[in-house]
Structure 1
């Protein structure tokens, strides 16, 4: 086997054009198909990067779902959509995996534009049960007798929204809705919380192995007919499971029938369980136990995250093909540990993403001062507010796109109570390959609405360290530090600091004020060089703290003939928009050109490709400034 084989669907998999093709396969062919799927998964992710561990764990489960249910008439909704690669293969897209996560290729998540089998383009967790409840209600309203299947796992059951949906699902006992809990005990890392502890109890209980074997025998044995007796055998093992292993009672107390636990890598057992669930007239929960990374020992043995999300790697060793340069997250990881060394009142909070957001080193050194609350951003924010009320300073580290889910808590829990909580937003701005739902392009617009909040966008590593230290000193209001995905640009020192504003370039008799927000300061400097080549003099500034808007920006704006703002955030409500309003309120009469992300859902592509498409490049910005500079003789406005 070559280190990285070609990404190509072969054998039986190459002939799969849709789920109904699975019906003609015998047991041996289905086993071979599972092997071919895993081969393609490993080859594709080794070449393109992506989510490997979650998909290796759901091969047999996905095959069983598509053999028992009739997609797209029966609607299959995937929570944490990164576990949908196998679903894509079985719905006719295996031949396209060479283009996984490329600009014109397959998305790394379900995509309605790709297939009629993809219902929800979700890649934020804990939402599938709400979608499923709505779809099932729609079936009821339209008289349809089709099923809805919601697959939830990878820690998504720790999200409160999932339990809100279960509460509603349980209230209507005649809807054809099957909830499949893919229980692999992990999100990025081992799942936390009371639910996780109860489910983990199943694996560690002395009665687990014999009970699972008894269920398997009933599911696959000669007496395992798919009628009422089989349902009772599954839904039952009541005395064995309910008393010894506990989860059945938890769900049945809600009014949802429980089947399981089922071995998630035993295709026959899975098909029997799902068929029994399908034949029941009301909502059923099928509890499936899987292993993340199944079939690829390197993934299973990876103690960090079982190759949850991988960069391109050598499939023989699991080693990355290229060493990534130091990223923004690593700068935060180092600095938060230094701060924690100096201040015992600083604590960390993560929403099931300890390593991705850089709190792992803090947790390693001070395990009692870092709290993982699961996929529960709303709880994370209000819990942090309570911590602040109790006299400590919490640092909540999340991806920028995920803070959207907790805006109300930031506004009315943290800010209203003037609590000192620091939010660190990783992956801010255009993130690229992961698609629309992961671009962190909303936070600066949303947070502008929050009274009293302080917001910093550092331009480089030195400024990130500086802003983080300034943020944790704020104890009477929420503070936010946001930074981009990927490599950290070179440090750029200021030639002067005016208030909180860093002046990075000051030409004599400057005509244009270029305001570069965060790492866009580097683009502003490059645009200034191009303007200089055209005979136009500029001042380039980095505000450092963009909320509250520094008054020095208005003073600088008044001394120039044109102001140009550049930010890695949506146009509406962002820094540029705020400055436009401030310039208007002050009646300065200076035109302001706002360069930001178009307010649209961006396709998946490399960051630089998207920025060029959006006009966020130094040449495009310089050309626009030349066109709009008052008195330049070539204005169009």
Structure 2
């Protein structure tokens, strides 16, 4: 690491000779592999951006020139070269550095990117802001080919193409992979571009370092050659000067090309081809497996995890296949998260009923609505945090028309290492205000299966939220048995305090309830709320405590308060849940404890509120 250890910021990098960049890339790749193997994190995507990262920081005057990474899970080399090498051991851990760009972490992280397809919009905003302020700096958006499938990217291209005097560069990092294998017409289009070898050669005419007049002459020759080969690319029709495709691992091609583009005005588009997992044979062979591994030994590779507990994602995948075997109207829809949402087996068994729409959450929701209009029963498997992107479509295209669409909300609640950008903290709040919606929260694996069945049989929009990772080890019954709509259940009888637990908070609430001799109810439904049970518990107890792994503001506890108010019932209330702030990355159990949502925290909060006055707790001796 002789070269890498001397680089504390990109200014140090720019002092190196061109000949030193290749050995630096080797050192950086080794460092990324070693670092991620010790902390876990995104690996394949970062091994694929080593040379591109070096070239961008070598050519552009960062941070004065802005680089926006899209999606941000490919920024580990960027973090290492921008002064965070010594903090990589804390990656995605409590109080450590984020796995994504964060503006409050470094001046080199010019825009926070963890959801995809935002970079071109942000870069255009920065480029036009520079023009408005009379500042001479560049804005560079580095966007993956998967992220290019989202409509927002094309909205930005459409907007940017009319400005011929801005310093904007879009770099398409084309690795033929997002997280799952690529889908859709755009991928086919990029493949055709790559197959045009003569066109690629023609486009590279004059791309060596040439000064002013010679460069202009080369450009004219290039345009003439291009016209004889094929029509203008789609990106040129948007108003961009398209260059490429070029090898994204060839620094001898990357550096001079970027140097030339830096001197051109107007929107520029550079198409680079990289390989996910580059330089680590195991990741090259299986980039999906090595997309986001935990800790592993690089010499041995990732070993299959052995666990007696099923993950909620596996429970959903099994349920999807079982229900599809029963009902031929079921179709499964995912916005580019086949593996993450547990749909690999479903695609294998029911390929004609499996639809991956690409990274396009808005389209996924309205696509499902169209299916439902024709009598199909779509199941949209989507992370809670990504459903936020399809909120307008959920309201106008699904709920307003009361269409029969089931939403399987994976990663509901805190998600741990991925942090605030991926946490599903708001779905209960933003869903329950929508008419016609049914919302359920699973407390264990078997209940998750039952709730999915309930949602599927409900004739309208329904959502089931469940967390990331393994459940509590509950036995999952093979029968597809629904739960009576809008019903909760008392799981522990006590006195004085009634704890109303939603979803994952049932287990810690039961532990706290037994310690305090409090009654504990598994509410199961956020909407329709079991108002009869709420009234019953309010009548027989001195106070009500609601507990949820979601935002307190507008969440399930607020629904209980509204129900009591509507009935004219005045009762002391304590709402426990996630606070009104973004929760950083860290181990989920640590984060829940910090939020007071483990058993000890729940009991402590109840004691603090009610031990000092009425009602008195009846504590179990």
Change (3 A) 1:151 1:106: same
Distance in 2 between residues matched to 1:167 and 1:588, nearest whole Å: 55
Could you tell me which residue of structure 1 aligns to residue 605 of structure 2? 624
- Is 1:420 the counterpart of 2:404? The answer is yes
- The equivalences for 1:570-581 within 5 A come to 570-581=551-562
Q: CA deviation at 1:145?
A: 1.3
Structure 2 unaligned blocks of 5 or more: 477-482
Could you tell me which residue of structure 2 aligns to residue 317 of structure 1? 300
Distance in 2 between residues matched to 1:486 and 1:266, nearest whole Å: 39
- The equivalences for 1:209-248 within 5 A come to 211-212=199-200, 218-220=206-208, 224-230=209-215, 233=218, 237-238=222-223, 244=229, 248=232
Change (3 A) 1:103 1:321: farther
Could you tell me which residue of structure 2 aligns to residue 23 of structure 1? 14
- Is 1:94 the counterpart of 2:98? The answer is no
- The equivalences for 1:168-317 within 5 A come to 168-203=159-194, 205=195, 207-208=196-197, 211-212=199-200, 218-220=206-208, 224-230=209-215, 233=218, 237-238=222-223, 244=229, 248-302=232-286, 305=288, 307-317=290-300
Q: Which deviations, in whole Å up to 9, do the C-alpha atoms of 1:340-388 show, x marking residues without a partner?
A: 0111000011101111011111111111111111111000000100000
- Is 1:542 the counterpart of 2:522? The answer is yes
Q: CA deviation at 1:11?
A: 1.8
Count of residues in correspondence between the two structures: 608
Distance in 1 between residues matched to 2:118 and 2:327, nearest whole Å: 38
Q: Which deviations, in whole Å up to 9, do the C-alpha atoms of 1:147-194 show, x marking residues without a partner?
A: 111111150000101111111111211111111111111111222121
Change (3 A) 1:30 1:323: farther
- The equivalences for 1:216-615 within 5 A come to 218-220=206-208, 224-230=209-215, 233=218, 237-238=222-223, 244=229, 248-302=232-286, 305=288, 307-320=290-303, 323=306, 325-475=309-459, 477-491=460-474, 500-507=486-493, 510-532=495-517, 538-555=518-535, 556-615=537-596
Structure 1 unaligned blocks of 5 or more: 1-9, 533-537
Assess if the C-alpha contact under 8 Å between 1:235 and 1:258 holds in 2.
no
Q: CA deviation at 1:552?
A: 2.5
Change (3 A) 1:112 1:232: farther
Distance in 2 between residues matched to 1:438 and 1:31, nearest whole Å: 35
Assess if the C-alpha contact under 8 Å between 2:202 and 2:225 holds in 1.
no
Which sits farther off after the overlay, 333-342 or 606-615? 606-615
Assess if the C-alpha contact under 8 Å between 1:471 and 1:481 holds in 2.
yes
Could you tell me which residue of structure 1 aligns to residue 45 of structure 2? 54
Assess if the C-alpha contact under 8 Å between 2:184 and 2:358 holds in 1.
yes
Q: Which deviations, in whole Å up to 9, do the C-alpha atoms of 1:122-146 show, x marking residues without a partner?
A: 2000001111111112111111111
Distance in 2 between residues matched to 1:473 and 1:499, nearest whole Å: 10
Q: CA deviation at 1:65?
A: 0.6
Q: 1:85 aligns with which of 58, 76, 89?
A: 76
Q: CA deviation at 1:491?
A: 2.7
- The equivalences for 1:128-147 within 5 A come to 128-147=119-138
Structure 1 residue matching 2:369: 3-state secondary structure: helix
Structure 2 residue matching 1:438: 3-state secondary structure: coil
Q: CA deviation at 1:631?
A: 2.9
Assess if the C-alpha contact under 8 Å between 1:498 and 1:552 holds in 2.
no
Structure 2 residue matching 1:87: 3-state secondary structure: helix
- Is 1:36 the counterpart of 2:21? The answer is no
Assess if the C-alpha contact under 8 Å between 1:234 and 1:259 holds in 2.
no
Assess if the C-alpha contact under 8 Å between 2:454 and 2:485 holds in 1.
no
Change (3 A) 1:211 1:118: same
Structure 2 residue matching 1:568: 3-state secondary structure: strand
